[in-house]
């Protein structure tokens, strides 16, 4: 593996961080060590990197802001790809914005609000990247990315760049075509918004921020909501109903503020977090017969 990493560094496609702790790059602040994290500086560099990784059968994972993923404590003997430099945000026309996959969704929603553009208010508290939010079809308050995305630029497995229109993205509740084609890499997104009143938009964002602070455990590291809400009810109600709200495992806890959050409140490990996620799932299935769907991705647990 050392030889491969040295070759990647010689390709001069962007910064390479070796033996990187994944605790720094995930919102749970848990996980093992990645052999290398590569930060391609542009699309050409990414294509070069992907070609090399595939030609040499090197394990890899594209990682956004790390807010919806749980790495195990094992070492990741491969390459993590971070598109942090794909973060350009450009507003054009009357109501459109082009955003790189590595751009912050919160930053994007704030910039839109300052321009009096409405449609991204739901995203003002989602701590992910634009690419990750498209992958998951992130949403809140009755809206999601599927309502506003016009088209998505992706890199295909054969290293071609294509554009997928909204109808081709197959957006559904917390789902998109990218989850079915995990070897596609989101590069850029064009979003269509509407003109609105800046003061009214910013008031909505402030109000929702206050509501999140009151109802969600934002003071601790977490991965956000753990489970999708089943039809007709809320995941937190089910978890609370089986008596797991506040349940502690090692240094992690099912939040006593919002039961659909597992928090790293005392130096927890990935094993602590996963134990609680599995416990919540199994108890709800046992008592209610409801198979909760986890929103978070488990990596390197094999």
Q: What is the pLDDT of residue 12?
A: 94
Q: How far apart are CA 179 and CA 176, in angstroms?
A: 6
- Choosing among 3.90.550.10, 3.40.1670.10, 3.30.43.10, 3.40.50.720, the CATH entry for 2-82 is 3.30.43.10
Count of other CB atoms within 10 angstroms of residue 297: 17
Q: Does the active-site annotation cover 286? A: no
Tokens of 100: 């790189």
Residue 213 is predicted with a pLDDT of: 87
Task: Convert the pLDDT of each residue in 29-81 to its tens digit.
Answer: 999 999 999 999 999 999 999 999 999 999 999 999 998 999 999 999 999 99
Cβ neighbors of 233 (< 8 A, separation 6 or more) are: 290
Rounded to an integer, what distance in angstroms lies between the CA atom of residue 218 and that of residue 252?
A: 14
Break the chain into its structural domains and give their ranges.
2-82, 89-201, 217-299
Question: Directed axis angle between helix 2-10 and helix 43-55, to 10°?
Answer: 150
Q: What tens digit of pLDDT does each residue of 253-285 get?
A: 999 999 999 999 999 999 999 999 999 999 999
E strand spans, 161-292: 161-165, 185-192, 194-195, 248-249, 252-254, 262-264
Q: Is 295 a catalytic residue?
A: yes
Chain centroid to Cα 121, Å, comes to 18
Would residue 302 show up in a list of annotated catalytic residues for this protein?
Answer: no
| pLDDT given at position 302 | 80
Strand pairing partners for 100?
188
Q: What is the pTM of this model?
A: 0.92
| Cα 61 from chain centre | 13
The yes/no answer on whether domain 217-299 falls in CATH 3.30.1490.20 is no
For the domain covering 89-201, report its CATH number: 3.30.465.10
The answer to whether 36 touches 17, Cβ cutoff 8 Å, is yes
Burial (CB count within 10 angstroms: exposed 0-12, middle 13-18, buried 19+), residue 75: middle
Write down the catalytic residue from 174, 198, 208, 228: 174
The reported pLDDT for the residue numbered 264 is 98
Bridge partners of 61? 80
Weakly modelled stretches of the chain, pLDDT under 70? none
| 3-state per-residue secondary structure call for 81-123 | EECCCCCCEEEECCCEEEEECCCEHHHHHHHHHHCCEECCHHH
pLDDT at site 1: 83
From the list 222, 225, 247, 255, the catalytic residue is: 225
């Amino acid at each position: 593996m050392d030889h491969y990493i040295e070759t990647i560094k010689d390709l001069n496609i962007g910064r390479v961080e070796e033996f990187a702790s994944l605790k720094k790059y995930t919102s749970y602040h848990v996980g093992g060590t990645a052999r290398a994290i590569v930060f391609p500086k542009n699309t050409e560099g990414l294509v070069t990197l992907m070609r090399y990784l595939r030609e040499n059968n090197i394990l890899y994972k594209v990682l956004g802001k790390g807010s919806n993923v749980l790495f195990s404590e094992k070492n990741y003997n491969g390459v993590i790809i971070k598109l942090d430099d794909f973060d350009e945000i450009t507003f054009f026309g009357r109501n459109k914005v082009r955003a790189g996959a590595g751009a912050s969704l919160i930053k994007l929603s704030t910039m839109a609000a300052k321009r009096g553009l409405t449609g991204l208010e739901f995203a003002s508290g989602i701590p992910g990247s634009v690419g990750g939010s498209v992958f998951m079809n992130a949403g809140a308050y009755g809206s999601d990315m599927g309502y506003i995305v016009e088209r998505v630029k992706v890199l295909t497995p054969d290293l071609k760049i294509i554009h997928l229109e909204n109808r081709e993205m197959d957006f559904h509740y917390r789902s998109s075509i990218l989850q079915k084609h995990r070897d596609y890499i989101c590069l850029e997104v064009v979003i269509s918004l509407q003109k609105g009143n800046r003061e009214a938009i910013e008031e909505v964002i402030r109000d929702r921020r206050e509501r999140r602070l009151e109802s969600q455990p934002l003071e601790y590291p977490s991965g956000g909501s753990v489970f999708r809400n089943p039809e007709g009810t809320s995941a937190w109600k089910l978890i609370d109903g089986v008596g797991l709200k506040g349940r502690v495992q090692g240094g992690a806890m099912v939040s006593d503020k919002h039961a659909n959050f597992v928090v790293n409140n005392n130096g927890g490990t990935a094993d602590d977090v996963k134990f609680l996620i599995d416990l919540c799932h199994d108890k709800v299935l046992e008592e209610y017969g409801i198979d909760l769907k986890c929103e978070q991705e488990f990596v390197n647990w094999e």
